[in-house]
Amino acid sequence: MIEKKNWKQIPQGGLIIEAGNAVNYKTGDWRTFRPVRDEKKCTQCMMCWMYCPDSCIIPKDGKIDHTDYDFCKGCGVCAQVCPVKCIEMKEEDEFR
């Protein structure tokens, strides 16, 4: 648990003075369903990568590599748009 700062320790006026620190807030914590991809069925059409609103489908060498679970919120759009339905939304609890 991150220790919370008191009113004397935070920048005035609600400013965030560290650039780009949104990356420290792991929104993946909010997930209740997790996308799990069956690599054997995947045709590498890149639809999931294109539609992901959080840019969490990470390609490598021209192929889908992995999902960034630090920021995947489990919205399920990837599973919805996959033309071969190789992505299954599983309960996050199974992975905790």
Partner 1 sequence: MNNQEKKALTGAESVAEAMKQINPDVVPAYPITPQTDIMHTFAKFVADGKVNSEMILVESEHSAMSAAVGAAAAGARVMTATASNGLALMHEIVYIAASSRLPIVMAVANRALSGPINIHCDHSDTMAERDSGWLQIYCENNQEAYDTTLLAVRLAEHKDVRLPVMVCMDGFITSHNIEGVEILDDKDVKDFVGELKMDYPLLNTEKPITFGPLDFYDYYFEHKRQQSEGINNARNAFPKIAKELSAITGRDYDFIEEYKSSDAEFIVVIMSSSAGTTKDVVDDLRAKGIKAGLVKIRMYRPFPFFEVGEAIKNAKVVAILDRTESFGAVGGPLFNEVRSAITDMKKKPKTINYVFGLGGREYNKSLANKVFEEIQGYEDKDVKELVHYLGVRD
Burial of 13 (0-12, 13-18, 19+ CB in 10 A): exposed
Task: Name the minimum Å distance from CB 14 to partner 1.
Answer: 5
Q: How far is the CB of 47 from partner 1 (least distance, A)?
A: 32
Q: Among 1, 4, 23, 39, which residue sits at the site for partner 1 (rule: CB under 8 A)?
A: 4
Number of residues that bind partner 1 (CB under 8 A): 14
Choose between 4 and 96: whose C-beta lies nearer to partner 1: 4
- Specify the DSSP element, H or E, that contains 80: helix 77-81
Residue 90 bridge partners (DSSP): 34
